[in-house]
Chains A and B, each alone.
Chain A
């Protein structure tokens, strides 16, 4: 089945740019969605279809998808961005279509 690989952790100073990678075989052919999960809370969709933002999500959140890597980009990082981030795709080739990456802990230094 399809596998998504994320780094366990990423650290960044306030005001800098955080990049969180999500690796998958030929992932550029899939639509990648990103979720933010703060401690003790339910996940929140922050980027869908590789690059789009739901209403209410700051423009600081963006995404890209090329080759075997999709990337969540958080510009001008704030302390409130500290959270776990998960990438997700739907794999229509199998009969268990929902796939999540292992998650990345973003630490704001």
Chain B
């Protein structure tokens, strides 16, 4: 079964760091474009970052310079390193896969909650 499972969320103080993981099954993350999308409480979806299969990465302006997307092919896992966190980063973080041949996010994880608060 094709599946994504996020983990690593939690309560963190402003200025802190966190690493989110997204474990894939049923496909290889190395062959697909993989994105992180977040949703603040009661708000809409916000695209955060994409990692291309060939290795290039892009970020939303709101996280550029603070967040880093990466993957471990041997673990078939996507990561998002979150640094210098602020209260505005509080959100559910989803990882999602773009389908091969279609640039649409066809598989999503269940999300992991990150709460930034003192």
Contact = CB atoms under 8 A, between A and B. Distances in A.
B68 to A, nearest CB: 15
Contacts of A84: 44
B11 interface: no
A97 interface: yes
Given A49-B102, A95-B58, A100 B45 contact: yes
Interface stretch (A17-25, A39-47, A64-72, A75-83): A39-47
Interface string B30-60: 0000010100000011111010000000111
Interface residues of A, number: 26
Nearest to A33: B104
Given A42-B111, A43-B94, A98-B60, A49 B47 contact: no
B103 interface: yes
B38 to A, nearest CB: 11
Contacts, number: 66
Given A86-B44, A88-B47, A88-B105, 16 more contacts: A1-B61, A31-B103, A33-B105, A42-B94, A42-B109, A43-B37, A43-B94, A45-B104, A49-B102, A84-B44, A86-B45, A95-B58, A96-B59, A96-B60, A97-B58, A98-B50
Contact of B45 (A35, A44, A95): A35
B1 interface: no
24 contacts: A1-B61, A31-B103, A31-B104, A33-B104, A35-B105, A37-B45, A42-B94, A42-B110, A43-B94, A43-B108, A45-B106, A48-B104, A49-B102, A86-B44, A88-B45, A88-B105, A96-B58, A96-B59, A96-B60, A96-B61, A96-B64, A97-B50, A97-B58, A98-B60
A103 B42 CA distance: 11
Contact of A103 (B44, B105, B109, B110): B44
